[in-house]
Structure 1
Amino acid sequence: MHNDDQNLFSALRAALPEDLSGIAVETDQGATYSWRDLDRATAMIANLLQSLELPEGARIAVQVEKSVEALMLYLATLRAGYVFLPLNTAYQSAEIEYFIANAEPAVVVCSPKNFGWVSKIAFQAGTRNVFTLGEDRSGTLLDRAVHHGDVHTPAVRGRDDLAAILYTSGTTGRSKGAMLTHGNLLSNAQVLKDYWGWQPGDVLIHALPIFHVHGLFVALHGALINGSPMLWLNKFDPQRVIAWMPRATVFMGVPTLYTRMLAEPALTREAARHMRLFISGSAPLLIETFNAWRERTGHTILERYGMSETVMLTSNPYRPEEGRRGGTVGFPLPGVGLRVAGDDGRELPAGEIGGIQVRGPNVFKGYWRMPEKTAEEFTADGWFKTGDVGKVDERGYVTIVGRSKDLIISGGYNVYPAEIEGYINEMPGVAESALVGVPHPDFGEVGVAVVVPKPGARLDGEAIVAALKAQLANFKIPKRCFVVDDLPRNTMGKVQKNLLRDQHKALFG
């Protein structure tokens, strides 16, 4: 523990405007919050959390719909010195049961409509405190927080102290909790403030979910550490974003959001004239989208690359004259080391494709309670193996070509085939299955399941998809399911997913 305070909240709080009466957040419902509102509300929630006498390093698990109050809960968790654990709102009971058992949170906050089943899981797992928080300011969290004082001294935290745990699905088996420290998050926010040219007067349109690195850390910290107001949407609405552009300067989105805006006639050069920067990430941006956006708006989308374990790693340059290149994720950020290694672990020369390895102050502390897994994912000389496959060209631009383990990225969310195959294989009459990603015009890619029945069993692809819907988040559900006699294999007996992908690649195009 350093004696110098590295609490991320304190750094963000110090960056706020001197006059706290200005508007910090305006929502698509017309509600406004001042900087003082953020300061007071986070103090009250932090005081509530501290009144619960939680153990040191307690996890606060949160599965709620997006709202400004949910943002306040995140900031209050940092302020009080606890560990924030955001959960995708799409997760169902089997998933939530695993996360609560694995993380052992002291507090769980869920949507009011889910209180019945979530509280049952939480109480059975030994969680003492379960609160609710609705997107309309309803719920027991705020009811209780109102009775607490609106002044709070932020907890002192060192740069190596845990700030958040983000669950990232394993390519084999269960999700792993990536442990991010105050130093990881603060160093990344400071680097990006400079790299992306944040300036006085900037206004961010915040249209991303806040259970994911992109919306929670990159967008939110970006605005806060610059003291910039946000125009806030609880749910993405392409027409609203376009209507807001004349009042804003920065927008961050996943590729799906850009394709949806391109479908709106209102998107013109005039509409985007006041904007300074459009950033894309979380999934590969198709070159068609990159080109179409430039033609329609006159703006060149800046693509960058990061992951749950590392926050942001690379970015195309901010100054357009330095060249934002479509199809690349730009250069390693200042302070980030990036190298491409062959199967033997040796660094490869420019232009050759291999495994991407990184190091830097942004790289996580390890996986929660998985020391063996953590050790496996780092090289002997301390570089993190991202699991992404790519190359670096002569000029230093990084291009990602794929995921070493057949990851599917659907609408910006990671889908790990092994997890879904596990559920399908447990169904009656199923001998085995394979899930592959195929191109999709709206989501980038979607999963297609190929299933082999046991001898004598009759399987129905649509029934398999319906059964999965009851168990898993919607973004993980295969769009189609085919029943076949056998799966293609190589001489080693490995399923040849590349052949299955080729076979189905034109399904949605």
Structure 2
Amino acid sequence: MTANANLFVALRAAFPADLTATAVEVADGPHAGAHYSWADLDRGTAMLANLLQSLGLPAGSRVAVQTEKSVEALMLYLAVLRAGHVFLPLNTAYQAAEIGYFIGNAEPAVVVCSPKNFAWVSRIAFSAGTGHVFTLGEARDGTLLERAAAQPDQHTPAVRTADDLAAILYTSGTTGRSKGAMLSHGNLAENALTLKAYWDWQPGDVLIHALPIFHVHGLFVASHGALLNGSKMVWFGKFDPKATIARMAGATVMMGVPTLYVRMLAEPTLTREAVQTMRLFISGSAPLLVETFDSWTERTGHVLLERYGMSETVMLTSNPCRAADGPRRRGTVGPALPGVQLRVIDDAGTPCPTGTIGHIQVQGPNVFAGYWRMPEKTAEEFTVDEQGQKWFKTGDVGKVEADRYVTIVGRSKDLIISGGYNIYPAEIEGFLNDMPGVAESAVIGVPHPDFGEGVVAVVVAHPGATLDPAAMIGQLKASIANFKVPKHLFVVADLPRNAMGKVQKNLLREQHRALFG
């Protein structure tokens, strides 16, 4: 009989023998100080999985979730896997237009939202044909837990193959139309096992979890790492630099985006004494400035481990954890992980010489199968070499040195990464261009000391029209997630163009490069 490849089965098998031990300690919020045992995780996920099962959903149904971070929200993710369905995490900042698109595209059988958003989310969901809408709040409130409380606390995990879909993560495209990256149980399990070994997870490790759980970094990389190692998590619903530093005593591992490290460096309590039990600090989801890398080493004595991944692939490369595997080199994202093949090619599709910049392509067991209901886009994003090997085009530009260390030098699709979040200019430009009086717009990212990149919009008005930048930004805030809203909006007479009429965003970026100092 073939073994059950359900990711939940692998995670559950890694629970420690003593199920009464603490799995998660809540560090903040309405239930600060609460402890969840491994038995609590097992029983809680069983009850939620039984609730989903009681709804009579077909195997592989989508469950869309937009809730604030909580241990119960993590249990819901695990329960969806356990029940054999597909988890669809949605950023808590998304507004009605965005949620409407995701629900319409994914056609989830179940939607779970915050109690405060039930009125508008349920209206969108029911209009799109969703059969069930539940609520889940930070204070352990909402209809989801009320309904699950009546369910048995034992559940046999659904049988899944490695190729069965486990999650869909929406990532914006340059056209402004979001794409749902389909990740299988095998994709996620392979990557988690690789990282467990490569990052040298140790018995007794304690993870500080201060990331959101609606994207790869917090939901998969951090949570899977701790669960697969049977490690306790110190759970922050919201990142607070001073509080996070205070909880490092007794902890050993932390993962964060560069913004988190910048903010902790601003705290005088960040000292070598404060981090003396810590073993590993990992940074990702956005480029790490050399200044941040050096300042962290100087203040703490720890060398940040920078790595590189995508929604479509989870982790691809990483600086070494063990000294025996090599140094952690600033400005690089390390070598490709074991099992991952990475190549750099030129515009003609020819492999680039060592140290030469080109387009990064990858393959491996962690690479997704394609985009949800977008066969043409999927075909466009993969290429096949002369040996018949299939490669995913990352859209990133970089180089590989002789020692296999990878350096990312840019992004070929004008992607902006601000505070660890991916932002595609075309989506914001679409909203701007629809505003009265706007002839055209260009959205760019420029260096920002805190967020890595700050979003800036440059807008041209129709002849005779008068535009109010503050009012336009206010209108955007009501339409899209706040992290996408430009920090500055400039009204200009025209946009720079090349001979083919294409807007030269590189000139705009250079013009506004010093905007944030």
Coarse TM-score class (shorter-chain normalised) = over 0.9
Is residue 370 of structure 2 the alignment partner of residue 370 of structure 1? no
Corresponding position of 1:95: 98
Q: Which residue of 1 aligns with 2:480?
A: 472
Q: Distance in 2 between matches of 1:400 and 1:318?
A: 20
Percent pairwise identity: 75
1:307-386 mapped onto 2 (5 Å cutoff):
307-320=310-323, 322-380=326-384, 381-386=389-394
SS at match of 2:269: coil
Q: Give CA deviations for 1:59-109 in whole Å, capped at 9, x if unaligned.
A: 000000000000000000000010000000000000000000000000000
Q: Structure 1 residue 327: deviation in Å?
A: 0.6
Q: Which residue of 2 aligns with 1:147?
A: 150
Q: Which segment drifts farther, 41-50 or 436-445?
A: 436-445
- SS in structure 2 at match of 1:357: strand
Whether the 8 Å CA contact 2:425–2:443 is kept in 1: the answer is yes
Q: Which range is displaced more, 315-324 or 431-440?
A: 315-324
For the residue of structure 2 that corresponds to 1:56, the secondary structure is coil
Contact 2:112 / 2:136 at 8 angstroms: preserved in 1? yes
User: Structure 1 residue runs of 4+, over 6 Å off?
Assistant: none
Equivalent in the alignment of 1:508: 516
> What's 2:207 paired with?
204
1:425 aligns with 2:424: no
Per-residue CA deviations over 1:284-327 (Å, capped at 9, x if unaligned) read 00000000000000000000000000000000011236110011
1:41-440 to structure 2, matched below 5 A, reads 41-320=44-323, 322-380=326-384, 381-440=389-448
Verify the 8 A CA contact 2:176 2:424 in the aligned structure 1. no
Measured in 2, the distance between the counterparts of 1:3 and 1:424 equals 53
Q: CA RMSD in A?
A: 0.8
Unaligned 5+ segments in structure 2 are: none
Separation of aligned partners in 2, 1:299 and 1:56:
46
SS of the equivalent of 2:23 reads strand
Q: 1:346: Cα distance to partner?
A: 1.2
Letter in 1 for 2:248: M
3-state SS in 2 of match to 1:246: coil
Number of positions where the alignment pairs a residue of Structure 1 with one of Structure 2? 508
- 2:453 alignment counterpart: 445
Give SS of 2:213's match. coil
In structure 1, what is the Cα distance between the partners aligned to 2:431 and 2:195? 40
State the 1:240 CA deviation: 1.5
The residue type equivalent to 1:350 in the other structure is T
Q: Give the secondary structure class of the aligned counterpart of 2:249.
A: helix
Provide structure 1 residue ranges, at least 5 long, that are not aligned to the other structure: none
Residue matched to 2:16? 17
Structure-2 separation of matches of 1:402 and 1:3: 44
1:142 match: secondary structure: helix
**Contact 2:165-2:182 at 8 Å conserved across structures:** yes
Q: Does 1:460 align with 2:463?
A: no
Partner of 2:25: 26
Letter in 1 for 2:52: L
* CA apart distance, 1:3: 2.7
Letter in 2 for 1:16: F
d(CA) in 1 for partners of 2:323 and 2:428? 41
> For the residues of structure 2 that align with 1:173 and 1:205, how far apart are their CA atoms?
34
Alignment of 1:40 with 2:39, yes or no, is no
Q: Distance in 2 between matches of 1:365 and 1:55?
A: 21
Instruction: Please give the alpha-carbon distance, in whole angstroms, between the structure 1 residues aligned to 2:349 and 2:356.
Output: 13
- Partner deviation per Cα, 1:222-270 (whole Å, 9 max, x = no partner): 0000000000000001111111111100000000000000001010011
Instruction: Give the TM-score normalised by structure 2.
Output: 0.98
Kindly provide the amino acid, as one letter, of the partner of residue 336 in structure 1: V
> What is the TM-score normalised by the length of structure 1?
0.99
Q: Secondary structure at the match of 2:120?
A: helix
Structure 1 stretch displaced more, 262-271 or 453-462: 453-462
What letter corresponds to residue 408 of structure 1 in structure 2? I
Report the CA distance between 1:466 and its aligned residue: 1.1
Tell me which moved more, 125-134 or 377-386.
Answer: 377-386
Aligned to 1:7: 6
Distance 1:44 1:209 in 2: 24
**What is the deviation of 1:462?**
1.5
3-state DSSP of counterpart to 1:217: helix
CA distance in 2, matches of 1:153, 1:239: 42
Task: Measure how far apart 1:56 and its partner are.
Answer: 2.1
Residues of 2 paired with 1:146 and 1:245: CA distance?
34
